[in-house]
């Protein structure tokens, strides 16, 4: 992630300098300095919405992701940092791991380990799932595995195949690793900027670097014997650079997490900030030349002017959280230190939540909802590391302490 280790945790996310703080917040950079001045509205809930967070099961070891195969079997899959993926069904955790990658994962750094998990849209027929993890040399690996049958509750490690290797030797933090399949059937893969403070390698704005990007790959069977092919919709699909061909969006610091709205197809990105702001970005997957600004910008405030020349396609965040030590007037509930990107709720049991993007902040424990330009705190739950959807698109969250929670409206 990037900022968790800023206090006491062994798993992190990241932070930066920005301008808009949550919906309704006005940020005005002063002429004398780059410090923004924030005016923060009084806290209030989204109309008619209140959340209940209910414990489901416990006993996970540093969970980093939760996902569903969307195959109608009612299983949730929880990824643990050490490399295990475990099944939850009917309120019980299966003792035997669904997939165990402990022997291939490098997890010496606080932000390393098994990072992301996503199931093929055709999983019920092809049995394929996709993971991201850090190798022993620090590289971020995108790989696939294959169940003998979709109904099986164990996947053999021998089926693991590397799809893409992203070198990451500079630092152990800012790995990204979030995965999401779009309604277009393509796989979206968020990578961090390579670590350190302030994008020291200048990767996020460099299109020939895979770091600090949202990459887009075609991993369908239409690629034949290739493990992936370049989507023709990618803006740079015909570039001479193999890396540049895969870039869907640039300018992210440490995206933790990304998701696709199943109703609109929009891509949502929770990007951890550097010094002053956490940000949420949203963009259509049909967009081209998307640039979220880092490290020229942190949200809407200039962070490093040397990275701004040539900045094009800049997409401003739809909402941000602020760091009280860095932003004047930053007060609860819009305080955040390490954002946890979530999902737009599209389930059936909580009608009041439909269309609301649910996200959180790891450090403060606040859970927020964003809809129609409004951001409000809806609940609290300490140290959420990831959100996920069930088969029926109900929302769940896992915490650093090892518990899976169900999230619903009252």
Tell me how long the chain is.
410
pLDDT tens digit sequence for 70-79: 999 999 999 9
pLDDT greater at residue 217 or residue 21: 217
Q: For 188-204, what is the mean pLDDT?
A: 96
Q: Any idea where the domains of the chain sit in the sequence?
A: 4-409
Distances (CA, A) of 82 to 145, 163, 352: 17, 21, 37
- Residue 99's contacts (CB-CB under 8 Å, 6 or more residues apart) are 84, 85, 129, 131, 145, 154, 155, 157
pLDDT at residue 6 is higher than 70? no
CA-based R_g, the chain, Å: 20
pLDDT at residue 201 is higher than 60? yes
Read off the DSSP letter of residue 46. P
Q: Are 14 and 2 in contact (CB under 8 A)?
A: yes
pLDDT at residue 394 is higher than 50? yes
**Which CATH architecture group holds 4-409?**
6 Propeller (2.120)
pLDDT at residue 376 is higher than 80? yes
pLDDT tens digit sequence for 121-165: 999 999 999 999 999 999 999 999 999 999 999 999 999 999 999
Torsion of CA 363, 369, 371, 374, to 10 degrees: -70
* Total-model pTM: 0.91
Of the candidates 209, 200, 164, the one whose C-alpha atom is nearest the C-alpha of residue 303 is 200
Q: For 361-379, what is the mean pLDDT?
A: 94
pLDDT at residue 357 is higher than 90? yes
């Amino acid at each position: 992630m990037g900022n968790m280790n800023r206090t006491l945790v062994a798993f992190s996310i990241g932070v930066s300098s920005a301008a808009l703080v949550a919906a309704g917040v006005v940020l005005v950079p002063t002429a004398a300095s780059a410090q923004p001045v924030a005016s923060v509205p009084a806290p209030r809930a989204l109309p008619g919405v209140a959340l209940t967070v209910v414990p489901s099961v416990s006993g996970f070891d540093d969970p980093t992701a939760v996902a569903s195969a969307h195959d109608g079997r009612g299983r949730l899959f929880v990824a643990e940092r050490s490399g295990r993926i475990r099944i939850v069904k009917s309120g019980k955790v299966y003792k035997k791991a669904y997939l165990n990658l402990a022997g291939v994962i490098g997890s010496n750094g606080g932000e390393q380990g098994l990072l992301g998990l996503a199931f093929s849209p055709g999983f019920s027929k092809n049995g394929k799932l996709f993971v991201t993890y850090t190798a022993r040399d620090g590289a971020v690996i995108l790989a696939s595995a294959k169940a003998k049958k979709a109904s099986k509750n164990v996947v053999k490690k021998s089926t693991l195949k590397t799809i893409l290797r992203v070198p990451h030797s500079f630092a152990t933090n800012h790995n990204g690793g979030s995965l999401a399949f779009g309604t277009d059937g393509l796989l979206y893969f968020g990578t961090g900027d390579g670590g350190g403070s302030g994008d020291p390698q200048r990767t996020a704005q460099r299109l020939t670097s895979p770091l600090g990007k949202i990459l887009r790959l075609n991993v369908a069977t239409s690629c034949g014997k290739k493990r992936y092919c370049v989507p023709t919709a990618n803006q740079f699909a015909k570039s001479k650079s193999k890396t540049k061909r895969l870039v869907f969006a640039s300018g992210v610091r440490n995206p933790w997490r990304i998701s696709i709205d199943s109703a609109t197809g929009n891509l949502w990105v929770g990007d951890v900030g550097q010094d002053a702001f956490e940000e949420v970005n949203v963009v259509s997957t049909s967009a081209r030349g998307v640039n979220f600004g880092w490290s020229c910008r942190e949200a809407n405030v200039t962070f490093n002017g040397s990275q701004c020349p040539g900045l094009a396609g800049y997409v401003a965040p739809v909402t941000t959280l602020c760091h009280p030590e860095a932003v004047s007037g930053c007060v609860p509930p819009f305080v955040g230190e390490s954002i946890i990107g979530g999902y737009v709720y599209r389930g059936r049991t909580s009608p009041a939540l439909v269309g609301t993007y649910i996200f959180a902040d790891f450090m403060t424990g606040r859970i927020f909802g964003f809809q129609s330009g409004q951001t409000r705190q809806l609940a609290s739950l300490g140290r959420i590391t990831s959100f996920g959807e069930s088969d029926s698109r109900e929302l769940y969250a896992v915490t650093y302490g090892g518990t899976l929670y169900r999230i619903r409206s009252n």
